Chain A
Amino acid sequence: MCLAIPGKVLSIEKDAQPIMGNVSFAGINRRVCLEWLPDVQVGEYVLVHVGFALSKVDEKEAQKTLDILKQIDGGLDEVRDVNCA
């Protein structure tokens, strides 16, 4: 039930009450409440739950999860070697 999906902000209606905007989820657009992210900009990614954006998705932090293996003693190469051994 706590399912939340990342989407890209296409437009912001700053004068709406509450603040709303259009968000694209892999090409499917929905109107989403942006009231709780007052500094969100068009082009940024937000995490949306039941029509409400709960947080901005931080691209640098996302990349860290994916990169961390590369930083650990040879990372994926070592993993591949172990798997093949």
Chain B
Amino acid sequence: MRFIDEFRDAETAQGYAQLIKNITTRPWIIMEICGGQTHSIVKFGIESLLPEMISLVHGPGCPVCVTPLEIIDKAIAIASRPDVIFTSFGDMLRVPGSKKDLLAVKAEGGDVRMLYSPLDAVKIARQNPEKKVVFFAVGFETTAPANAMAVHEAKRQGINNFSILSSHVLVPPAVEVILSSPTNRVQGLLAAGHVCTVMGFEEYVPLAERYKIPIVVTGFEPVDILQGIYMTVKQLEEGRCEVENQYARSVRRKGNVPAQNLLKEVFAVTDRKWRGIGEIPASGYRLSDEYAAYDAEKLFGVESIEVQEASVCIAGQVLQGMKKPRECPAFGKECNPEHPLGAPMVSSEGACAAYYHYGRINAEQTVS
């Protein structure tokens, strides 16, 4: 596949790995923010190509993982109603709520449907005027414009039986929580390439300056990630802390302005609770006042549902790069993808699940 295969080329990947070895003189700790990057790093054995002095820690960029338990319970409460068609991306269906998941609701007779695109939910609403159609709108800045377009289209087409359960999260406030922590050990950041296709990367410039840390916007294929690490290490070794763009084939400095304009129209920034981390001020989107009529939480009266998280796992520390999955005593034992105790084991992009799935071949594997 064009623009994918050539960025998985083993020789090019090894070339960048060699460049990293050539310039590394000291130990450095680098965090990749996005769960998709974590997945690639573990799947392609990228750590095995790096000098021992370079440590990668994994960030909180997995929207499935950081969606709070109480939002899952709200989704289950709404999806269980006989007058509702509940629609969602596939990733969210098997995330356990405090008692069951959305697939169990479907098995019990609930009308729960997996969608490819949020626009499909609007179409289902148009075709089923006697039902209330709800879309589970989760995601980072990459996904938020698509979800916003669904609400915008419902309004434009005068569709009144459509609403969204919104749990959108934003990357820069979470990055700031990590970098401002007194226990922070992250020295360089790989910013999430696809988030930046929408938002651009100017909002990372003040973070790089304030926390004296290099930030490199990075893609998702092995060659991208290795080039991103190379650019980060080069900055660290030269004592620079700038925002650079490895993923220039897809990311522009200002991002996608029409998509940003739609976000501003449909959503407003709000405080959000992150699973495993807690509440972060101004770290998510809610519907703007103009679109408040499409808010499923209000329509179905589930705003008051609150759940306490089980505190046996170290998910919060893993999501903030303080610990690696294998440092958790429950990892791979009582906590596994079939029975996750914590958020990062839930999604395949969660750090714990990625380690679980690919961990056994980690030692010998190289890019192929």
Interface residues of A (CB under 8 A from B): 1-6, 8, 17-18, 25-26, 33, 35-38, 45, 47, 49-52, 54-59, 61-62, 64-66, 68-69, 72, 75-76, 78-79, 82-83
Contact = CB atoms under 8 A, between A and B. Distances in A.
B16 interface: yes
B216 interface: no
A6 B34 CA distance: 18
A51 B117 CA distance: 5
A83 B249 CA distance: 29
A61 B3 CA distance: 11
Nearest to B11: A76
Contacts of A26: 1-2
B145 A2 contact: no
A17 B118 CA distance: 15
B194 A49 contact: yes
Nearest to A27: B1
B247 to A, nearest CB: 9
B347 interface: yes
Given A2-B142, A65-B224, A69-B15, 10 more contacts: A1-B89, A1-B138, A2-B143, A2-B192, A5-B1, A36-B256, A36-B262, A50-B118, A54-B256, A64-B248
Nearest to A51: B117
B19 A54 contact: no
B143 A49 contact: yes
Contacts of A45: 2-3
Interface stretch (B57-65, B272-280, B300-308, B329-337): B57-65
Contacts of A76: 11-12, 15
Contacts of B119: 33, 51
Contacts of A66: 6-7, 9, 12, 223
B54 interface: no
B195 interface: yes
A45 B249 CA distance: 10
Contacts of A47: 194, 197, 250
16 contacts: A1-B347, A2-B36, A2-B139, A33-B119, A33-B146, A36-B256, A47-B197, A47-B250, A51-B146, A61-B249, A62-B6, A65-B224, A66-B6, A66-B7, A66-B12, A76-B11
Contacts, number: 141
B149 A35 contact: yes
B246 A57 contact: no
B198 A54 contact: yes
A2 B63 CA distance: 9
Interface string B1-41: 11110110101101110110000000000000011100000
Interface string B117-143: 111100000000000000000111011
Contacts of B185: none
B265 interface: no
A58 B3 CA distance: 10
Contacts of A55: 197, 250-252, 256
A4 B156 CA distance: 27
Given A57-B3, A66-B6, A1 B250 contact: no
B144 to A, nearest CB: 11
B116 A50 contact: yes
B12 A2 contact: no
A72 B224 contact: no
Contacts of A2: 34-36, 61, 63, 139-140, 142-143, 192, 194-195
